[in-house]
Structure 1
Amino acid sequence: MAGALDGLVVLDLSRILAGPTCTQMLGDLGATVWKIENPKSKGDDTRAWGPPYVRDVDGNQTDLSAYFMCTNRNKQSVAVDIATPEGQELIRQLAVRADIVVENFKPGGLSKYGLDYEGLKVVHPSLIYCSISGYGQTGPNREKPGYDLMAQGFGGIMSLTGEADGQPMKVGVGIADVMCGMYATIGVLAALRHRDQSGEGQHIDVALVDTQMAWLINEGANFLTSGQLPQRRGNGHPNIVPYEVFGTSDGHVIVAVGNDAQFRRFCDFLGLAELADDVKFSTNPARIENRLELIPQIATRLNDYTMDEVIAGLEAVKVPVGPVNTLDRALGSDQAKARDGVIKMPVESAENGEVSLLGNPLKFSKTPVSYRTSPPRFGEHTEEVLAQLQQTEVT
């Protein structure tokens, strides 16, 4: 089956994580993606962000780091030096044949080459051009470099993350980059809808810091409504108690008590029915006010049980509960297998002929995602793509 974006062409001038997240998503949905890589630096910086790396059949390290592979399947790698007049001309020729350009240079970084939106829309008015940066194309910080950690710090999420008496903490993966890439994808799809209706292209300006602030979600709304700065609570929830991680005798579980009826059943399971009758804990607002008294009592009792006992016992009484899985348990679970959470793709040069990657979570009934090409070696498709250019010019 053809993908939803089959027939569309994306010119990917991005690297690292946010831009490649967007373009891989477009590729998974069926678009052809030309990934432009700098021959002077031997490609995307993340090719060198290892270990681990894929090893070739002789056991030698390749340029396929795990980091690079996580966002670069369904792409064709084309080696072009855009700092040269010849490279700039090739990019212009490719852009004219593309529907979408995605780039993450510093604001104004491509204007000196005539490859910014203003330069390319002259020759391709219906082009959709998405610029990803740290702080956006405007504002006092537009010139500052954008890194995921900086965005998490500036945008506020680190102030909410971590133990109450510990340091502010970043999220364990580059979530500001990833979510920025997701917002960029939404923007591109909306711009495609507009272009299909009007014939007009447009420029999309999306920033790591803007998008990180946008997904502060309930904590952002809590602050804007109350004027009170939220506090770090570790794994605790600002508006629901108990809703956090608890230790057991052999691991950790998540207990997510969403209402007062669930709290009563939870207390009955623990043999602490008196807590549900106590006015200090019988309602969620009361539990929030008295969480420092309540949580230690729950935590002490849960330590008497194993993970499996807690999960089975609370599931039986319909109290939301789940494990804190390590990655081997998460990705090896029956649920992950049933939902194609991990996929395998062939790589001829790889030691065992294939690589394992995380699957795309979107499930379509008519236009499913597809895994057509594995993450490319640097410059692997240069001759193929440039030959297509020449064929188009001849015809």
Structure 2
Amino acid sequence: MPTENNNPPLQGLKVVDLTRVLAGPLCTQILGDFGADIIKVEPPSGDQSRGSGPPFHDGSSSMFYGLNRNKRSIVIDLNSDEGKSQIRQLIRTADVLVHNFKPGTMERWGLSFDDLKEQQSRLIMVAISGFGTDGPLGGTPGYDGSAGAWTGVISANGDQHSGPMRIGLSVVDVSTGLHAAIGVLLALKALERDGVGQYIDMSLYDCAFPLLHPHAANWLYSNVETARSGNQHPTFTPMGVYDTSDDPIYLAVSTDRNFHKLCEILDISHVLEDERFTCMANRAKNRSALIDIINSKLKQEKSEELALKLNKADIPAGAVLSVAQALSHPHAEHRQMVVSVHDQKLLGIPIKLSRTPGRISRLPPNIDADRADILAEMGS
């Protein structure tokens, strides 16, 4: 286990968080997990995700609860002159400002990067939008699904019978939140070197494209689109979700060596002599025939038992668990991916630094809970 250091890596960093819903709050929560002081500025009605339930916890939705720990909350009405003045006061001592308003909104309020950098030349501003400020789609309202639609992410999901399918998780939002946090760290490194801040233009649209692997590379190099493959991998076979006698199992057999091991464990070594399956390219061409053979054997196995047996043979495999099963699994507990803070269970921190690990010191705040302290620090 790592030895905790009293000085987290982002201690002393002050972040003004004007974001709501998912991508922006995830970005700032990551920074807060590693010591940054996150001041969550909310409108009088609160972050709209506070009402995105059920379920609810202490009056706010579980969605809000999962993305806003390690933050302090203050209500500021940016439609008022007083609110705009308070933001400028906050910026005087802040290092980073993150917002995800529609392009043009901050400019209309007189709070653009050019406006604010005049009083704080070291300021780093992150602007998260759906599609950026210009171009054919610039300024278009953006949500995870719409960005996924425009970028091919939804088209790549599903199979030949289902057609394009929405992914069951907000992967574009999460990708954007992660890329935005990386952008802040890069800008901080440049600030350390050059002494001036900068503007970071983040869009859901841009951050969806890195999810298109290997589909994007396949098309860019061959001009041929990868067919939708559903629960199967478009290249490797057998790689995908298969039924067993109880629950599904995921197999990831990406090498000839592992295919030989799989055949031995499933007692189908005769398959190795069949020319249709002697190499990866042949197995891909004859996928249906191979899957029929494998399925007949897998239906005699139990998912978790077989997955562990395959893992011991260095074959990547996993029992397909429900969310409840996954969060309750002993390995999730061992990896501290579900933690208890003040008797409340939260997801843990995936970034495991050995010397300066992250920590969860604050539960998500009630709306305006830290107003007095923040105003006092501003000298108001």
Task: Indicate conservation of the 8 Å contact 1:64/1:375, yes or no.
Answer: no
Distance in 2 (alpha carbons) for counterparts of 1:163 and 1:27: 40
Offset at 1:344?
1.8
The alpha-carbon deviation at position 316 of structure 1 amounts to 4.4
Alignment of 1:49-88 (within 5 A): 49-54=52-57, 62-88=58-84
What TM-score, normalized by structure 1, do the two folds share? 0.92
Inter-partner Cα distance in structure 1 for 2:151 and 2:309: 40
Corresponding residue for residue 5 of structure 1: 10
Q: Does residue 11 of structure 2 align to residue 22 of structure 1?
A: no
Alpha-carbon distance in structure 2 between the residues aligned to 1:174 and 1:275: 40
Q: In structure 2, how many angstroms separate the alpha carbons of the residues matched to 1:269 and 1:344?
A: 40
Would you say 1:160 and 2:156 are equivalent positions?
yes
Aligned residues: 375
Q: For 1:35-63, what per-residue CA distance to the aligned partner results, in whole angstroms no more than 9, with x for missing partners?
A: 00000xx2001100111111xxxxxxx33
CA contact (8 A) 2:341 2:363 kept: yes
SS at match of 2:226: coil
1:380 match: secondary structure: coil
Q: How far does residue 217 in structure 1 lie from its aligned partner after superposition?
A: 2.4
Cα deviations by residue, 1:101-154 (Å, 9 ceiling, x for unpaired)? 000011111111111111101111110000000001221211210101101111
Code of the residue aligned with 2:66 in structure 1: it is C
Q: Could you say which residue in structure 2 is the equivalent of 1:366? A: 355
Report SS of the residue matched to 1:33: strand
Report the alpha carbon displacement of residue 64 of structure 1 after superposing the two structures with TM.
2.1
- The 1-side partners of 2:312 and 2:113 are apart by 58
Q: Which runs of 4+ in 1 moved over 3 A?
A: 315-318
Partner of 2:48: 45
Q: 1:265 aligns with which of 261, 264, 285?
A: 261
CA RMSD of the aligned region, Å?
A: 1.3
Q: Is the 8 A contact 1:100 1:128 kept in 2?
A: yes
Contact 2:304 2:318 in 1 (8 A): no
- The amino acid of 2:365's aligned partner reads P
Q: Could you tell me which residue of structure 2 aligns to residue 221 of structure 1?
A: 217
Counterpart mapping for 1:134-153 below 5 A: 134-153=130-149
Q: Choose from 364, 375, 383 the match for 2:364.
A: 375
State the match for 1:58 in structure 2.
none
Q: In the alignment, what sits opposite 1:57?
A: none
Amino acid at match of 2:23: A
Identity %: 38
Alignment of 1:1-395 (within 5 A): 1-39=6-44, 42-54=45-57, 62-346=58-342, 354-390=343-379
The amino acid that maps onto 1:22 is C
Structure 2 length normalisation: TM-score?
A: 0.96
Q: Aligned partners of 1:376, 1:304: CA distance in 2, in Å?
A: 51
1:349 corresponding residue in structure 2: none
Structure 2 residue ranges without an equivalent (≥5): 1-5
Partner-residue secondary structure (3-state), 2:217: helix
Query: In the aligned structure 1, how far is the partner of 2:293 from the partner of 2:149?
Result: 34
Q: Which amino acid aligns with 2:174?
A: V
Contact 2:158 2:228 in 1 (8 A): yes
Unpaired runs of 5+ residues, structure 1, are: 55-61, 347-353
